[in-house]
């Protein structure tokens, strides 16, 4: 299609991988073969998804119902479901049901098939979040045997780096590490171990207290964050990494949580902006996968108001010395895959600052100024005048006092790249893609492959491995 031919290929920061059965079987010590994660075939006895919680119950051999593949680990029984890999299926056929590996598209777990699917799907490279470990490794965090859990985390990372993102991937699959969230010191060690072999992102929870872990307002996470600060590792948080979608009631249907999936990202981002972590760790970067971006301008405006007017009694005066919108500009990536409102809003109000770092960027798509798309290279201009006034009061001695937030125009296209000059072009591209997916549903990849915000720090790993 014309849109596919015109636009450069996408580097996705929110794909999925379904772990093949051998990941832990081949990498755990032999004494854990019968207790580590393993695949069995069984029918479901019951399976519900209400109030933001998925509750499957595995049936016994001989029970009625369709047979699917289940991961078994300690007392956990987790099925593979059609929601895990819906590619090639019509929307009305995507139901909460168990499936087998044979019933999913091979690109879900096979590297060569995945690369072929990415070619069809106009994707150059992709960073994938896990399935069985869940978005930030909650499966191992909740396990009773922490020693085995750590071995499982390390085995997953070894499989990711050595096999999934190894030579067969030809530099197109970008690794995302897990860490043992239950202990920040081994977590920091795992960040450093993987950074040494080119991994530049690890998965974290939007709201750790939902997992029974300390919040980012404590110093509990400082060893891990220091490791990220020193190695340039991005803290990647996916919607649902709190093990729950935003609920309104215990009996709310899944559609309710699906409509407000951004909410946990919203709460989380305010936590980080008011935590003081970005000032303690100046090279720290965080990103929100599948969180969309349309909500960000108002939150930044409100956060700036609170910081400017209420910080004396609000508990942040001694640790947050710059406006939250300025911290966002240098430290936060907002990622989207289908957010026309967010594109319109960020384009009307995009601003940049003289102090913004450019070592990592959010771009959507390549060739377009990331500052116009609400990423870590420029924040939407919510609360701009308040932030300007506050910055004059808190600007370090000797800094230029006359550099306000300035509106930025589109950046020049890179050589050989098509310049994307308006959100309307991107919306037309998305509409063309939807039609392409509708008419070729058996040939294209999961729509989640189309997360369109791209992190250059992660992209560098891809380029270095080519």
| Confidence tier at 341 by pLDDT (50, 70, 90) | confident
More confident residue, 233 or 1: 233
Q: How far apart are CA 257 and CA 261, in angstroms?
A: 6
425: left (phi over 0), alpha (psi -120 to 50) or beta: alpha
Confidence of residue 233 (pLDDT cuts 50, 70, 90): very high
Phi and psi at residue 358, to the nearest 5°: -120, 25
Contact assessment for residue 368 and residue 411, using Cβ atoms and an 8 Å cutoff: yes
- Provide the pLDDT for residue 426: 53
Q: How confident is the model at residue 51 (pLDDT cuts 50, 70, 90)?
A: low
Structure confidence at residue 10 as a pLDDT band (50, 70, 90): confident
List pLDDT tens digits, range 70-79.
Answer: 999 999 999 9
Helix (H) and strand (E) counts in the chain? 16, 16
Give the domains, in start order, of the chain with CATH numbers.
2-17+104-464 (3.20.20.140)
Q: What percent of the chain has pLDDT over 90?
A: 55
Is the CB of residue 462 less than 8 Å from the CB of residue 24?
A: no
Q: Please, what's the b/e burial string for 23-49 (b: 16 or more CB within 10 A of its CB; e: otherwise)?
A: bbeebbeeebeeebbbbeebbbeebeb
Question: How much is the pLDDT for 243?
Answer: 80
Of 375 and 252, more confident: 252
Q: Which of 53-62, 100-109, 250-259 has the highest mean pLDDT?
A: 100-109
Q: Would residue 161 be called left, alpha or beta, if left means φ above 0 and alpha means ψ between -120 and 50 degrees? A: alpha
Residue 6: pLDDT over 90: no
At 154-199, the pLDDT tens digits run: 999 999 999 999 999 999 999 999 999 999 999 999 999 999 999 9
Angle between helix 384-394 and 296-314 (nearest 10): 40
For residue 351, pLDDT over 50 is answered with: no
User: Is 378 within 8 Å of 370 (Cβ atoms)?
Assistant: yes
Report the alpha-carbon angle 73-227-146, nearest 5: 20
Indicate the pLDDT class of residue 250, thresholds 50, 70 and 90.
confident
pLDDT of residue 253: 84
pLDDT digits (tens, 9 = 90+) for 293-340: 999 999 999 999 999 999 889 999 999 999 999 999 999 999 888 888
Helical axes 296-314 vs 263-273, angle rounded to 10°? 40
Over the Cα atoms of the chain, what is R_g?
22
Helix or strand run (H / E) with residue 264: helix 263-273
Q: Would you state the pLDDT for residue 242?
A: 83
Q: Report the pLDDT value the prediction gives residue 427, as an integer from 0 to 100.
A: 56
pLDDT of residue 348: 56
Residue 86's pLDDT is 86
More confident residue, 359 or 39: 39
pLDDT in tens, 400-424: 433 332 222 233 333 333 444 455 5
CA distance 248 to 19: 32
């Amino acid at each position: 299609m014309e849109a596919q031919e015109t636009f450069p290929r996408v580097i996705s920061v929110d794909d999925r991988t379904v772990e093949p059965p051998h990941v832990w079987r081949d990498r755990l010590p032999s004494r854990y073969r019968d207790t580590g994660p393993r695949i069995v075939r069984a029918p479901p006895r019951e399976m519900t998804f209400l109030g933001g919680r998925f509750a499957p119950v595995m049936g016994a051999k001989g029970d009625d119902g369709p047979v699917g593949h289940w991961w078994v680990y300690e007392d956990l029984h987790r099925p593979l479901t059609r929601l895990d890999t819906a590619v090639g299926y019509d929307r009305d056929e995507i139901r909460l049901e168990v499936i087998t590996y044979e019933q999913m598209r091979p690109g879900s777990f096979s590297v060569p098939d995945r690369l072929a699917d990415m070619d069809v799907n106009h994707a150059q490279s992709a960073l994938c979040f896990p399935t069985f470990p869940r978005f930030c490794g909650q499966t191992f965090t909740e396990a009773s045997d922490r020693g085995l859990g750590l071995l499982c985390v390390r085995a997953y990372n070894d499989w990711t780096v050595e096999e999934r993102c190894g030579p067969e991937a030809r530099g197109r699959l970008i690794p995302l590490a897990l860490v043992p969230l239950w202990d920040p010191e081994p977590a920091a060690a795992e960040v450093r171990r993987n950074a040494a072999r080119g991994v530049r992102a690890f998965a974290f929870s939007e709201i750790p207290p939902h997992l029974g872990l300390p919040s980012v307002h404590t110093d509990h996470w400082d060893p891990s964050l220091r490791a990220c600060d020193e190695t340039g590792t991005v803290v990647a948080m996916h919607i649902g990494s709190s093990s729950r979608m935003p609920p309104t009631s215990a009996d709310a249907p899944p559609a309710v949580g699906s409509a407000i999936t951004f909410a946990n990202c919203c709460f989380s981002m305010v936590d980080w902006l008011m935590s003081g972590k970005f000032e303690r760790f100046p090279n720290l970067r965080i990103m929100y996968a599948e969180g969309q971006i349309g909500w960000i301008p108002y939150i930044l405006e409100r956060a700036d108001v609170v910081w400017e007017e209420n910080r004396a009694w609000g508990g942040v005066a001694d640790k947050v010395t710059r406006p939250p919108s300025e911290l966002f500009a240098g430290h936060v990536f907002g990622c989207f895959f289908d957010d026309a409102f967010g594109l319109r809003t960020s384009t009307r109000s995009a601003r940049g600052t003289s102090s913004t770092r450019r070592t990592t960027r959010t771009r959507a798509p390549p060739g377009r100024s990331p500052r116009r798309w609400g990423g870590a290279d420029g924040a939407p201009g919510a609360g701009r005048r308040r932030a300007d006034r506050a910055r004059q009061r808190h600007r370090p001695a000797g800094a230029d006092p006359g550099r306000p937030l300035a509106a930025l125009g589109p950046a020049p296209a890179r050589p050989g790249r098509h310049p994307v000059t308006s959100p309307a072009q991107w919306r037309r591209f998305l509409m063309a893609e939807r039609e392409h997916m509708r008419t070729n549903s058996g040939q294209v990849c999961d729509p989640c492959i189309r997360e369109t915000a791209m992190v250059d720090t992660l992209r560098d790993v891809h380029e270095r491995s080519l």
